[in-house]
Structure 1
Amino acid sequence: MLLASTLRSTTFKLALAAIVTFGVIASAIFAYVYLFTASFVRSRSDQAIMAEYSGLLGAYERSGRRELIELIRNRLAGGSPAEHVYLLVDHASDVLAGNLDKWPSAATAAQGWTEFRAPGAPDAASQPRFRAMSATLPGGDRLLVGTDISDLDSFAAKIKAAVIAIIFLMFVVAVVASILVTQRTVGRIEEINATSRAIMQSGLDKRIPLRGSHDEWDRVAENLNLMLDRIETLMGDVKQVSDNVAHDLRTPLTRMRGRLEKAYHGGRIGENDQALIGDTIADLDAVLGMFSSITRIAHIETQVRKGAFRTVNLVEIASEVVELYDAAAERDGTDLSITGDHEVRVTGDRDLLFDAIANLVDNAIKHGRAGGKIVVACENVDGGAVIAVTDDGPGIPTCERDHVFKRFYRLEQSRYTPGNGLGLSLVAAVAHLHGARIELLDHSPGLQFKLWFSTPAS
């Protein structure tokens, strides 16, 4: 099964194409080495033959046949007949001097190179092979000078066999390595596919196994597992949002139905009807506002609002928010103030930043201590911008801080406070859109909520 998948895989096909390309190049290189080596060895032998041939021919031209015969006899007396070949015959092919019985039948040209086996041997294939230079002298005599090249042929044959063996072994090793590497790749892909099928069948609790090799496949598996963790978290958030929506909508809808039923069955009293309808409209407005907030958060999270980004001054925006909520703070006896630098610039959407700061101030007023103090601070820190909203209320327990940004999530002590649990979700969405980091700190007593804008205004 795995072998069949390996042979069908694109990775294996690409590996084969690479093997063929590399094999052709390597074969061409080895062939060049073989031809160059054989040619070099042969040329050295030919140079030695030509030197000997030229010496004998020069002796003939200086002193004639007798001197040439004497010189050939001296060469044979001092050399090895198995290595060197000398032959001088007259016009009738009678041997005058040399170590061959007769003129080789292969040497038919009047002058030039020739190759032959030792003439007269019963088994020609087993006899030494000679390469020689032959020529017809002015008096009609013919001269042949050569040497045994059997060792050269054997050497060339061994090089040729070695080159063929290396090329064959190279192809075999490359194919085996390609199959093994491809099997490993296909095996890891099959693990991912198997996990994907298990997830589709049973749920998001499955994860891709890691081999601990810390290679690129382990990194892919880690990223996919992180993605599955994120999907599982988002699915949990969706379920929680659905549960919270159902819970939070049940009460206002039930009240609206009861009021409308009361108005339907009761007498027509103008002031009572008007109050009843007014309360119903208020509840409907609250429901519509809830859905409007959900839609806006989703719109922000898709990051389609970056076209409205401009260089803005956080101090101006925060001052407007403080001015807007000053009356509400006074009603609760809360001291609301702004401090920090006079100019803190960031690149962002002014309206969204206003909404985020307004939600933070609104939360501080609602959940802070009555008659307490709220400070909004804008500062330039290390080339970036920071805005902090600090109160002296009960704060948020450390164990709850990872959950307060979820939609509709509300602390137990805030369950009966007006609101729908979407304010901090909107703040988180705006912060993510602007690349800002959120930080929740204890103020002892109270809470300090910070937004760090790491990228300065351009």
Structure 2
Amino acid sequence: MTETLARGDRLLVGRDISDLDGFTAQIRAAGLAVIVLIFVLAAVASIGVTRRTVGRIESINATSRAIMRSGLDQRIPLRGSHDEWDRVAENLNLMLDRIETLMGEVKQASDNVAHDLRTPLTRMRGRLEKAYHAPRGSETDAALIGDTIADLDAVLGMFASITRISEIESRARKGAFRTVNLVEVAGEVVELYDAAAEQDATRLRLAGEADVPVTGDRDLLFDAIANLVDNAIKHGRAGGRVTVTCHNVEGGAVMSVADDGPGIPAEQHDRVFKRFYRLEQSRYTPGNGLGLSLVAAVAHLHGARIELADNAPGLLFRLSFPAPAVGAQGG
């Protein structure tokens, strides 16, 4: 800083800043040290994360190899860290649980198919062998051939039911959806099974409202209700009653079939919808264990909720349908 004095002299005032240069040098050195430290820490963290990631991947690979060698009973271990790798392991374990369940269902279905097909095929073979060795007689031959055809029809019907269920589950039938009066469909089913109910002295009746609209495939709904009524008559109490009820509820419609038979144990409510699954007491009654599977497929296609409840005594089977689609065509 300079200043001119009264006599013309100039005063110059200054300050030595060499200490400031030293401070700047220290700041530069510290900055370089921090940068080096950051790189070192980043390298250490990178190595740690890489080793941890590789370790978790190797754990998953080891479990996968164990599963391929010994079966689906192995699971990926969790470390309790609740991080992304633990979540991945949990999801993979859930997927393995689901696969194991599906494989068990496939095995159960295969066992049931083998059990259900063995009896009619054995009967057919026995009849044909008897016809082969016995003297020819028109009436005897006709009876044997008729019984064999009946058994073959039963086997073919089983495979037709499987194909039909697969077709329904693939949602290939939604093009036939129309607004349908559920009461009319249920009434046709009750009329069809009235004679079968009378043979067992069962009282079959239709109750509820007169107009219960739903959006769906009329033929599939008929098949589903028919299977429910058929099951109620077959497995209900002889001389009992079966009631089919249709009524409107807020946001949709409900159709129920109730009987006063022995019912189904609560722990088996979910199992009865599996293909070929039959209760032990039903093993020796006519049927192939596909009726409720078809009902479940039709309900799923129509967005309906299935409920099984104790009718005290007996079983109450309820289908809850959503409200009819706006603009659906009548049928």
Fold match, TM over 0.5? yes
Q: Which residue of 2 aligns with 1:156?
A: 24
**Secondary structure of 2:307's aligned partner:** strand
- One-letter code of the match for 2:43? V
- Note if 1:430 corresponds to 2:298: yes
Q: Distance in 2 between matches of 1:439 and 1:371?
A: 25
Corresponding position: 1:264 with 2:139: no
The equivalent residue for 2:287 is 419
> Percentage identity across aligned positions?
75
Aligned: 1:178 with 2:43? no
Could you tell me which residue of structure 2 aligns to residue 241 of structure 1?
109
Task: Determine whether 1:332 maps to 2:171.
Answer: no
- Matches of 2:136 and 2:30 in 1, distance apart? 112
Residue 409, structure 1, aligned to residue 267, structure 2: no
Paired residue secondary structure (2:21):
helix
Partner letter of residue 206 of structure 2? I
Note the C-alpha offset of 1:307.
Answer: 4.3
Which residue of 293, 304, 323 corresponds with 1:456? 323
Question: Could you tell me how far apart the structure 2 residues matched to 1:208 and 1:348 are?
Answer: 44
Residue type matched to 1:343 in 2? D
- Residue 140 of structure 1: aligned partner: none
Counterpart position of 1:318: 186
Q: By how many angstroms is 1:369 displaced? A: 1.5
- Cα distance change of structure 1 residues 324 and 220 upon mapping to structure 2, 3 Å threshold: farther
C-alpha distance after superposition, 1:235-285 (max 9, x if no partner): 122212222222221221122122222223333322222222111111100
Displacement of 1:310 after TM fit? Answer: 4.1
Q: 1:298 aligns with which of 166, 170, 173?
A: 166
Q: In structure 2, do the counterparts of structure 1 residues 311 and 252 end up closer, same or farther at CA, with 3 Å as the change threshold?
A: same
**Structure 1: gaps (5+ residues):** 1-51, 85-146
The CA distance in 1 between the partners of 2:59 and 2:176, in whole Å, is: 45
Instruction: Return 414-423 or 340-349, whichever deviates more.
Output: 340-349
Q: Distance in 1 between matches of 2:99 and 2:266?
A: 25
1:219-250, Cα deviation, whole Å (9 max, x unpaired): 33223222212211221222122222222212
Q: What are the Cα deviations for residues 376-432 of structure 1, in whole angstroms up to 9, with x where unaligned?
A: 112333423322110011111234333322222222322221111111122222333
Deviations 1:112-152 (A, max 9, x none): xxxxxxxxxxxxxxxxxxxxxxxxxxxxxxxxxxx533233
Q: 1:277 is paired with a residue of what secondary structure?
A: helix
Greater relative contact order (Cα < 8 A, sep 6+): 2
Distance change (3 Å), C-alpha of 1:367 and 1:230: same
CA RMSD of aligned residues (A): 2.5
Q: Among 366, 372, 378, which residue is 2:246 paired with?
A: 378
Secondary structure of 1:338 counterpart: strand
Greater C-alpha Rg: 1
* 1:232 maps onto 2:100 in alignment: yes
In 2, Cα distance between equivalents of 1:222 and 1:310: 43
> What is the alpha-carbon distance in structure 2 between the residues aligned to residue 384 and residue 177 of structure 1?
59
Question: Does residue 218 of structure 1 match 2:103?
Answer: no
Gaps of 5+ in 2: 326-331
Equivalents in 2 of 1:172, 1:156: separation in Å? 24
Q: Which residue of 1 aligns with 2:141?
A: 273
Code of the residue aligned with 2:46 in structure 1: it is S
Give the match for residue 439 of structure 1: 307
What amino acid maps onto 1:331 in structure 2?
Q
Cα distance in 2, alignment partners of residues 253 and 184 from structure 1: 59
SS at match of 1:404: helix
**How far did 1:317 drift?**
2.4
Tell me, what secondary structure is at the counterpart of 1:148?
coil
Inter-partner Cα distance in structure 1 for 2:162 and 2:196? 25
Q: 1:449 to 1:181 in 2, by over 3 A?
A: same
- Equivalent residues, number: 325
Q: Which amino acid aligns with 2:302?
A: H
Structure 1 residues 423 and 177, CA, compared in 2 at 3 Å: closer, same or farther? same
3-state DSSP of counterpart to 1:452: strand
- Aligned counterpart in structure 2 of residue 287 of structure 1, from 146, 155, 160: 155
Distance of aligned partners of 1:307 and 1:150 in 2 relative to their CA distance in 1, 3 Å threshold:
farther
